[in-house]
C-alpha cells in the first residue's frame, strides 16, 4: 500500500508540522477554510521547495481551487499559517502577489482588448519597467507576436491559454500556481501547454498545479499529493511512484477517504 498520511506535509509528511527549510517557497501549516458549516480545507500542512513542481490531484469538491485561491491571496483563510517566499499571507499580501503568477482554466483576459493591450494593462498594474519590450519578448515566446494587435475574442482557446501564460509570466514570478490549466483544451493545445510547463519547470521556477488530469500532472511533477475532502491524504516524490499503477492508487485513496468522512 502507498503511503497514507493522516496529517501530512508534502516535504515532511509524517509529523504534520512544517519544518522550516531555507529553500522552501510555500509553507502551509494547519490551513483551514470554512464556508459556513462547510469545511473546504481541514488543517492541511505542506511545503514546496524552490524549483519544485508539486501536483495536487483531487476529485471535484476536494478543495483544490480553494487552496489556490488562498495561496494566491484572493480568499482569506479561516485558520492556519501560510507564507510564500518568507512573506506571511496575512501581513504581506502585496509582496506575495509580486512573486506569484496564476494560470487557471479561466484566462483572465479581456476579449475586447488586443493581446498586447491585455499584457500592457496587467503590466501597468504591476508597475513594470520597460513594459513594451517585455510584452514583445513574451508574445514572441508564446508564438503570438504576429497576432499582438488582434482582439483576444478572435483567438482560439489554445491561443488564449498561451496568452494567459504570457500574462502570468509578465512580472517574472518565482512561483506559478496552476488551477486546472488543461480544462477546455484540445489534445494538441494540451500537449503544447505541457511543453510550456515543462520548460518553465526546467527553468527552475517553483510550480504548484492542481488538476484532475492524472497522466499530465504526474508526468510534469517532482512530487504529487492527493487532496480529498479538504485533507491531503497522500504525498510522494513522483520518482517513487509506479506511474502505471498510479491511477488505481488515486482511486483507492479517493474512495477510501470519501467513504470515511
Partner 1 sequence: MIRSVTAILIKDFVSELRGKEMLLSMLVFSLMVAVIFNFSFPPGSEFIQEAAPGIIWMTFIFAGLLGMNRSFVYEVDKGCLQGIMLAPIDRAVIYISKLIVNFVFILLVELIALPLFVVFFKLDILGSPGYLLLVVLVSTLGFAVIGTLFSAIAVNTRTREVMLPILHFPVAIPIIICAVQATAAVFQGQEWAVVWGWTKIIVAFDVILFIVAFLTFEYVIEE
Question: What residue ranges bind partner 1 (CB under 8 A)?
Answer: 72-76, 94-95, 97-98, 100-102, 104, 106-113, 117, 121-122, 124-127, 151, 167
For the bound state, the minimum distance from the C-beta of residue 146 to partner 1, rounded and expressed in Å, comes to 21
Q: Which is nearer to partner 1, 152 or 226 (CB)?
A: 152
Contact 199, 193 (CB under 8 A): no
- Spatial strand order in the sheet of 38-49: 38-49, 24-35, 79-84, 87-88
Q: Which is nearer to partner 1, 97 or 201 (CB)?
A: 97
Q: How far apart are CA 1 and CA 91, in angstroms?
A: 41
Q: Per the structure block, which three cell numbers stand in for 244?
A: 502505471
Q: Per the structure block, which three cell numbers stand in for 34?
A: 470554512
Q: Taking each helix axis as running N to C, give the angle between helix 131-141 and helix 157-169, from 0 to 180 degrees, rounded to the nearest 10.
A: 140
For the bound state, the minimum distance from the C-beta of residue 38 to partner 1, rounded and expressed in Å, comes to 14
- 94 membership: H or E segment, kind and range: helix 93-99
Q: Which is nearer to partner 1, 182 or 250 (CB)?
A: 182
Q: How far apart are CA 53 and CA 176, in angstroms?
A: 9
For the bound state, the minimum distance from the C-beta of residue 35 to partner 1, rounded and expressed in Å, comes to 9
> Where do we find the cell 493522516?
6
Q: Which is nearer to partner 1, 30 or 123 (CB)?
A: 123
For the bound state, the minimum distance from the C-beta of residue 33 to partner 1, rounded and expressed in Å, comes to 11
Q: How far apart are CA 130 and CA 191, in angstroms?
A: 32
Q: How far apart are CA 134 and CA 171, in angstroms?
A: 9
Among 135, 133, 107, which residue's Cα sits nearest to residue 121? 135
For the bound state, the minimum distance from the C-beta of residue 151 to partner 1, rounded and expressed in Å, comes to 8
Q: Per the structure block, which three cell numbers stand in for 50?
A: 524552490
For the bound state, the minimum distance from the C-beta of residue 127 to partner 1, rounded and expressed in Å, comes to 6
For the bound state, the minimum distance from the C-beta of residue 206 to partner 1, rounded and expressed in Å, comes to 16
Q: How far apart are CA 117 and CA 220, in angstroms?
A: 31
Q: Which is nearer to partner 1, 112 or 187 (CB)?
A: 112
Q: Which is nearer to partner 1, 127 or 242 (CB)?
A: 127
Q: Which is nearer to partner 1, 99 or 216 (CB)?
A: 99
Amino acid at each position: 500500500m502507498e503511503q497514507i498520511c493522516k496529517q501530512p506535509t508534502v516535504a515532511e509528511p509524517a509529523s504534520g508540522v512544517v519544518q522550516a527549510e531555507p529553500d522552501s517557497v510555500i509553507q502551509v501549516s494547519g490551513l483551514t477554510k470554512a464556508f459556513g458549516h462547510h469545511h473546504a480545507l481541514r488543517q492541511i500542512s505542506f511545503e514546496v521547495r524552490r524549483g519544485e513542481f508539486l501536483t495536487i490531484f483531487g476529485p471535484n469538491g476536494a478543495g483544490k481551487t480553494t487552496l489556490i485561491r488562498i495561496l494566491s491571496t484572493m480568499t482569506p483563510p479561516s485558520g492556519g499559517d501560510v507564507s510564500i517566499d518568507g512573506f506571511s499571507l496575512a501581513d504581506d499580501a502585496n509582496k506575495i502577489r509580486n512573486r506569484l503568477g496564476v494560470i487557471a482554466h479561466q484566462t483572465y483576459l479581456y476579449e475586447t482588448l488586443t493581446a498586447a493591450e491585455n499584457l500592457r494593462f496587467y503590466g501597468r498594474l504591476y508597475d513594470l519597467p520597460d513594459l513594451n519590450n517585455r510584452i514583445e519578448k513574451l508574445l514572441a515566446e508564446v508564438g503570438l507576436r504576429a497576432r499582438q494587435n488582434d482582439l483576444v475574442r478572435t483567438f482560439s482557446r489554445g491561443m488564449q491559454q498561451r496568452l494567459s501564460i504570457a500574462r502570468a509570466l509578465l512580472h517574472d514570478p518565482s512561483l506559478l500556481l496552476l488551477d486546472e490549466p488543461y480544462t477546455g483544451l484540445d489534445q494538441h493545445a494540451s500537449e503544447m501547454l505541457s511543453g510550456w510547463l515543462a520548460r518553465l519547470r526546467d527553468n527552475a521556477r517553483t510550480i504548484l498545479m492542481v488538476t484532475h488530469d492524472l497522466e499530465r500532472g504526474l508526468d510534469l511533477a517532482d512530487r504529487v499529493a492527493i487532496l480529498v475532502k479538504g485533507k491531503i491524504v497522500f504525498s510522494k516524490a513522483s520518482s517513487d511512484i509506479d506511474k502505471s499503477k498510479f491511477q488505481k492508487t488515486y482511486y483507492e485513496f479517493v474512495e477510501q477517504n470519501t467513504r470515511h468522512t
